[in-house]
Amino acid sequence: MRRGRFTENQIIGVLLEHEGGVETAELCRKHEISDATFYNWKAKYGGMTVSEAARLRMLEDESRWLKKLPAESMLDVSAPKDLLKKTDPVCGSLRCGGEADGRPRLLRASRLQAERGQSVGLAI
């Protein structure tokens, strides 16, 4: 996530200057920010103290972390399933060792050996 050039302390300082009676246009020129940026700051940090802004940042980070937990666990569950569904480029069969009809390649090869009268060694 991109971080701006102003810290929360600086943003709250700018907003306190505005509450002190300095005009918006003058503040924006002085701190080299746009009007839209100023009003976004005012909507997010208006009326806050520095400690409240730090607490807000901490809560946002915790919320982001908590949202990421179920997403990661869903990936942990779905990744092996996706790997099992992918096909092998050599023979066109499923990567898990089976053909598209669900029969494993090892058993099919052993059946061919048994039909030819050769010894069969199954390794399952």
Hey, where are the domains in the chain?
A: 1-84, 86-118
3-state SS assignment for residue 4: coil
One-letter identity of residue 68: K
Two tokens, residue 98: 């089976």
At 76-113, the pLDDT tens digits run: 777 777 777 765 555 555 554 555 555 555 545 555 55
Residue 15 phi, psi dihedral angles, 5° rounding: -65, -35
Q: CATH: 1.10.20, 1.10.286, 2.60.40, 1.10.10. Which one for 1-84?
A: 1.10.10
pTM above 0.75?
no
Per-residue tokens: 43: 């909507």
Residue type, 106: L
Q: Are 122 and 112 in contact (CB under 8 A)?
A: no
Structure tokens at 15: 């907003």
Residue 52, number of CB atoms within 10 A of its CB: 13
